[in-house]
Structure 1
């Protein structure tokens, strides 16, 4: 009898999982995408894939950089799995048609913040994610994977404690032996984000309602440099890696006063440094000065960014461009083991929606695409019986309970986003978080009558969980900064965990 698998999400994690499963006999795979297949965080990713390929680099160095960026909360075993498996995963991407940029006989390598070596492979200059997504989507044609685009998953169907399928908008049920959540991020919790419109925290909310354990939702990474224009288009960290610097309204380079690594400090440090400088200059965005790199280099190395910048009437080869932080990546998510298994039998999670502990409190740049490729393969292996038995252990037992229902007031998405930005954005405190929690408790999740109402319901559930997690962590660490607890507490270097309840 065939194993029926439903994979929800069409980024690198979902596509890798689906393709690897479909290549095995006796597996029937259905891939469900909320919008078009190419609408994902993966397709928008610019910088590249962090992987050890140079003879001067080592897996141990990549692990050390990952752990250091994670601010004391990385799962070292997860980091070792990621970094050691990286070259194999990138090789698989190349075999599936991804054409990474080359330098001579080898792959071209870039440098990004908090990396001790040049190890970022890229494609199309700054179009790495698009190149990966296109290549993997092309592979679906002859794979046998059944594709359902423009299809909204409302919930996982759980019977006798096990996931047995998914319920779609319109009440259709896709029956499955295994469900894989690969739904990506949660940037739409905030009004300013580099994420696409589809990044509405769906998988986290779906898992919460299914009874799965979540972890580390207070750790949200805000990318330091998005264009300070509508749309918050990402300006890749690789631009700073190539030598661009951040300057204030007077043209003074200010990050040298914030951290020894200046513009290449960990992302949370740079983002807060920019926010603090913006506050000092009345909210005016800071500027990214790439003029020293030259027009020809900018156009060839960063063609996507160059086109966007110039489409807005700016010439970044001649004058600095205004940038500001924007929500980018959530380190937490559905708690999984190193094979993607959640606390609900039959339910797996992979990619940004999952939390293995790999990223700790602050993801190392360009580890996200690699995570999708590495752990997508591992999820497929686990589903096929190729993974050892595992256990979550006491360290991951749920400590918080958050309401997935309750409230009777209608709300607008913009209201939720702006409240999240002010109360749970780059910096937080008890008063702001407590007030946000009170407001969210009053609001009622809309009935899912269409895709947008389903998304709004998911955003509310996850907003409650983020605020609860942020309130419980009375310290500052990585992407979580408390104005009222500005220092890290060594005794608090533990993962936050929570589950849902109808009324908490």
Structure 2
């Protein structure tokens, strides 16, 4: 790595020239750096806004899942069977599915060797269980903090190799030239007060982008507050998006942000709502369900079926998500889970529950008492988690909302996780390796596989130094000046960033979340576009300390606009309700007559399940195209032929 400097726009700017910059310190980013170094590419550095921030380190559930090839028991499994499961999730490219299947065992076992405490039996088998959309027992877990353990072990491995970490650096511009990467412009968050240290440039041949999903777009999100994402500036740089319409949403606590899946629902809590002032408390599920046992059975099923699934609205547990959404997003009320009392304030007759709910609770020895009693009996750590965060479920209700949880789409990648910009790789949630449906836990595997593939490709095919400084500056200077100039024009004696941010995020949760209608999406996209066009006029900051949030707001609005336009294009293409999105259709069915007409919809019939939507942001507009998924490869698997290709350097790449 070489260091130099220039002056631009009245600022002194440090420049670091290196082969590869890894952006992000979640599990995917840390693994990318660790793999690169181990493969011999040591001219690398990690750039992060906060080493201890992000989704991998600060999120989880009652039992956070890692999905991989079966490594125990007598049930047959194969790489190709696993790839078919991933591929069958719709809108999934087959070559990516095969890569994620083929490397799953390798990546999982590396984590186990690094110290992630995945459970195994006395013979060394890593026992599995079934998760959603999983035909076999491929799932495993190290508990609520599986991804946290992963980042901790990978961070330790990175530090042992003395890989340089640039902490407190925020990427604000991706620099490109004719579909080739040039580098990155960053804010030094520790030197915002100093104009000669405020901006930093990275001149690099490769970037591995591991910034996570665009969490900041939504007001209602289960992502940790430290996770914002940086997809907008990627779109601005001309990087293609893919499957952007495909998200997962579910009922989550608001403070702290955490999935209330599993035993939180199986304990059968009371659902209450209040007005914004804390008054007018109502047990709103009772207003909807005529049959209390049916209501309780559907609440129980939310534990298994945590993500909202439009296929499960009619006669399924996703009606619970709809009712919570009505209270919060439409009526503007606050919703809470109350574990202190039974629903309707009366003892539960467990014999009236659905067989699945009744049998589970009886086998667990939990067919008794109040919700808090059942939760403590079945999963005491679930109670202790909230107590450790300042919420005692035995004494107070827990505020919840239907929250964005994971983006199955993202930046479009090939089977080495390289985007359409040469030298720019996207790994982890920011990359679009998933489709409409995916087995729980595949995201953790995808992040490890994608970062491994990107590192392999760079180490084999993209070695060498960064471009000469003179060439880099000549090509990048106009974009550098434009980005620095944007920040300078925002200074004022007022501050409007939080106001605009909150308004935009609430708009996205209301119109671009689980319920989507063409009219409202078009309106929301138009409002977002106007905010982008007038950004320099409407966004004001009172000091340079507010620059980071102002640049994040710009990125967030860019993301919102591209995602909303993708939803609009999906409807125009003939797309119907699928996954975690209900698209309003006036000619569709209404699963319950008492629901408002906005919940009338038509289920997708799978006819476009083999099509992928891709989009480019260009000159303030979005262009979309649809293509067939790449099929599952069926390469020659005769050993001698593969061995020969592998020996002949580069042939596998």
**Which interval holds the TM-score relative to the shorter structure?**
0.7 to 0.9
- SS of equivalent to 1:152: strand
Residue of structure 2 aligned with 1:368, choices 421, 426, 443 = 443
CA distance in 2, matches of 1:126, 1:253: 30
CA distance in 2, matches of 1:191, 1:439: 17
- TM-score of the superposed pair, with normalisation by structure 2: 0.65
CA distance in 2, matches of 1:501, 1:195: 29
CA distance in 2, matches of 1:303, 1:19: 36
- SS of equivalent to 2:567: helix
- TM-score of the superposed pair, with normalisation by structure 1: 0.83
Residue of structure 2 aligned with 1:421, choices 509, 519, 522 = 509
Q: Deviations over 1:276-305 (max 9, x none)?
A: 2336777655679985665255135x4764
2:204 corresponds to:
176
1:480 counterpart = 2:577: no
CA distance in 1, matches of 2:161, 2:304: 41
2:417 corresponds to:
340
Question: Following TM superposition, by how much is the alpha carbon of 1:6 offset from its aligned partner in structure 2, in angstroms?
Answer: 0.3
CA distance in 1, matches of 2:403, 2:517: 19
1:396 corresponds to:
none
2:139 corresponds to:
120
Q: Deviations over 1:182-240 (max 9, x none)?
A: 100122211111112233231x2222121111112121211x2312x434322345867
Residue of structure 2 aligned with 1:275, choices 309, 316, 321 = 321
1:107 counterpart = 2:133: no
CA distance in 1, matches of 2:402, 2:134: 20
1:139 counterpart = 2:157: yes
1:49 counterpart = 2:89: no
1:66 corresponds to:
86
- SS of equivalent to 1:360: coil
Residue of structure 1 aligned with 2:379, choices 298, 306, 319 = 298
Residue of structure 1 aligned with 2:556, choices 459, 476, 481 = 459
Question: Following TM superposition, by how much is the alpha carbon of 1:258 offset from its aligned partner in structure 2, in angstroms?
Answer: 11
Q: Deviations over 1:233-287 (max 9, x none)?
A: 22345867xx65687645645486799x875347231684322233677765567
Q: Is the 8 A contact 2:22 2:47 kept in 1?
A: yes
2:234 corresponds to:
207
Question: Following TM superposition, by how much is the alpha carbon of 1:3 offset from its aligned partner in structure 2, in angstroms?
Answer: 6.5
Residue of structure 2 aligned with 1:95, choices 113, 120, 124 = 113
1:501 counterpart = 2:624: no
- Residues 223-238 of structure 1: pairs in structure 2 closer than 5 A: 224-227=250-253, 229-237=254-262
Q: Which runs of 5+ in 2 are unaligned?
A: 2-16, 188-197, 272-284, 287-291, 343-360, 368-373, 463-482, 491-495, 586-600, 622-653
1:20 corresponds to:
35
Q: Is the 8 A contact 1:430 1:471 kept in 2?
A: yes
Residue of structure 2 aligned with 1:313, choices 392, 395, 402 = 392
CA distance in 2, matches of 1:417, 1:181: 24
Q: Which runs of 5+ in 1 are unaligned?
A: 388-403
1:264 corresponds to:
304
Q: Please, what is the CA RMSD of the aligned residues?
A: 3.4
CA distance in 2, matches of 1:220, 1:116: 22
Q: Is the 8 A contact 2:251 2:306 kept in 1?
A: no
Q: Is the 8 A contact 1:3 1:26 kept in 2?
A: no
Q: Is the 8 A contact 1:255 1:262 kept in 2?
A: no
Q: Is the 8 A contact 2:118 2:126 kept in 1?
A: yes
Stretch of structure 1 that moved more, 165-174 or 421-430? 165-174
Question: Following TM superposition, by how much is the alpha carbon of 1:20 offset from its aligned partner in structure 2, in angstroms?
Answer: 0.5
CA separation of 1:351 and 1:66: change in aligned 2, threshold 3 A: same
Residue of structure 2 aligned with 1:8, choices 1, 17, 23 = 23
- SS of equivalent to 1:179: strand
CA distance in 2, matches of 1:299, 1:438: 48
CA separation of 1:294 and 1:488: change in aligned 2, threshold 3 A: closer
1:350 counterpart = 2:435: no
CA distance in 1, matches of 2:226, 2:565: 24
CA distance in 1, matches of 2:212, 2:156: 20
Question: Following TM superposition, by how much is the alpha carbon of 1:99 offset from its aligned partner in structure 2, in angstroms?
Answer: 2.1
Question: Following TM superposition, by how much is the alpha carbon of 1:467 offset from its aligned partner in structure 2, in angstroms?
Answer: 0.6
Q: Deviations over 1:156-194 (max 9, x none)?
A: 221343112111123321111101111001222111111
CA distance in 2, matches of 1:378, 1:308: 38
Larger Rg: 2
